[in-house]
A and B are shown apart, each in its own frame.
Chain A
Amino acid sequence: MNKHLSEQHIQEYLDNNINHSKKQTIEEHLSECSSCRDEIKHYKKLYAILETDIEQRLSTEFNVNVLNRLKNIPIKKPKTWIYYLLGLFGFFVILGTSLYFSDLKPFVYVSEQFKILINAYIFPYVELFQNLSSSKSLNYLFLSFIIIFIIGTIDRLFFSSEGFSKSNKILLII
């Protein structure tokens, strides 16, 4: 490299923002060129000044003052329920419009297929569940367990992060 280093190359070198081979070439040039070494010295000095920390002039009561102001300020709640409501509204509008303007035959067909699917896949499990025990009280207990689990999951997913643990606690108490 016969030419002097460009300022862009010098800045990239000092920022360590170049690849290994380019870095080597620059270092080789620097070992031979005093003018570029001086340029690097100026830049290094500038970097050192820019990296010198600013003396903080915040009052010692800064944290307390902020905390005192917070007492009267509520945290903004994210308005997610509006989006759920709008989504639900949009869903019913689309569904209603589609049903109004379309032929219902395909829906009847889908419904028939759905029934076949249920008969094929769900009923064997229901029968298995019923055969597990002849005692009806055990069935009710199992059913209540499933219902509480579903409520707990919905609570956890949509209402609060604590919901799941609360529901599990209720389950344990039962």
Chain B
Amino acid sequence: MNMLVIDQSSTEKKIIKKILKGDHESFEVIIESYKKLVYHIVFRMIYNDADREDICQDVFIKVYQNLSTFQFRSKFSTWISRIAYNTCLNHLAKRSPQLMDDIIKSETNWDDLLKSDISPLKIVEKRDLKYRLEKEIAKLPVRYRTLLSLYHLDGLTYQEIGDVMDLPEGTIKSYLFRARKYLKSLLQENYQLEEIS
């Protein structure tokens, strides 16, 4: 199947019109373009691995159902992020206290180890650093984790994150500052500068 990557709002408009006219197969373009964004939010907010795929599916079902209500007043990515964020919040509210299993799994990519010029030991050390930091991120409140992901992984602006999380821009800046300050202090406490540079 030919996959298109949406990069312009005009293309999005055309695809949305096609879907609204009944061509539901065109929705695959939307799934393919925004799967990563939705997964980032779900990954940061939900720690039960078994639930993640179902929640991602639910997000896209909600996007499809409510497609006719999207008025192009905001970016489509912001709208989808908001749906993903609210879906995760609803899920967490239902499953309180949230399940904390499968917090982190090994992310070793053996192809990288073979291709890279850096020694395998160094890669393991770096992986370990990321692994340990991920564990610390997991301990942060859900809002902090989400905005770290939206800002650093998905490149959303403060205003867009504010729209997604329904918070003022100033609060977003403040949360982001506090989260990074905390994580940096952990990094500083546990690792020597030679290790991390």
Contact = CB atoms under 8 A, between A and B. Distances in A.
Interface of A: 7-8, 11, 38, 41-43, 45-47, 49-59, 62-63, 65-67, 69-71, 73-78, 161
Main SS of chain B's interface residues? Answer: helix
A50 B53 contact: no
B68 A75 contact: yes
Given A63-B32, A75-B20, A38 B61 contact: no
Interface of B: 17, 19-20, 24-25, 27-28, 31-32, 35-36, 39-40, 43, 49, 52-53, 56-57, 60-61, 64-69, 107, 109, 129-130, 133, 148-149, 152-153, 176-177, 180-181, 183-184, 187-188, 193, 196-197
A53 B40 CA distance: 9
A70 B61 contact: yes
Contact of B57 (A46, A53, A65): A65
Contacts of B68: 75-78
B53 A47 contact: no
A50 B152 contact: yes
A41 B57 contact: no
Nearest to B109: A55
B107 A55 contact: yes
A73 B65 contact: yes
17 contacts: A8-B177, A11-B180, A42-B188, A43-B180, A45-B197, A49-B130, A57-B53, A58-B56, A59-B53, A62-B57, A66-B57, A66-B60, A67-B24, A69-B61, A70-B27, A76-B66, A76-B69
Given A42-B184, A46-B187, A67 B65 contact: no
A49 B32 CA distance: 25
The 7 A-B pairs at the shortest CB distance, nearest first, are namely A50-B152, A45-B196, A66-B60, A55-B107, A51-B152, A70-B24, A63-B31
Contacts of A57: 49, 52-53
A77 B32 CA distance: 24
A40 to B, nearest CB: 10
A113 B171 CA distance: 59
B180 A54 contact: no
Given A67-B28, A73-B61, A78-B68, A62 B177 contact: no
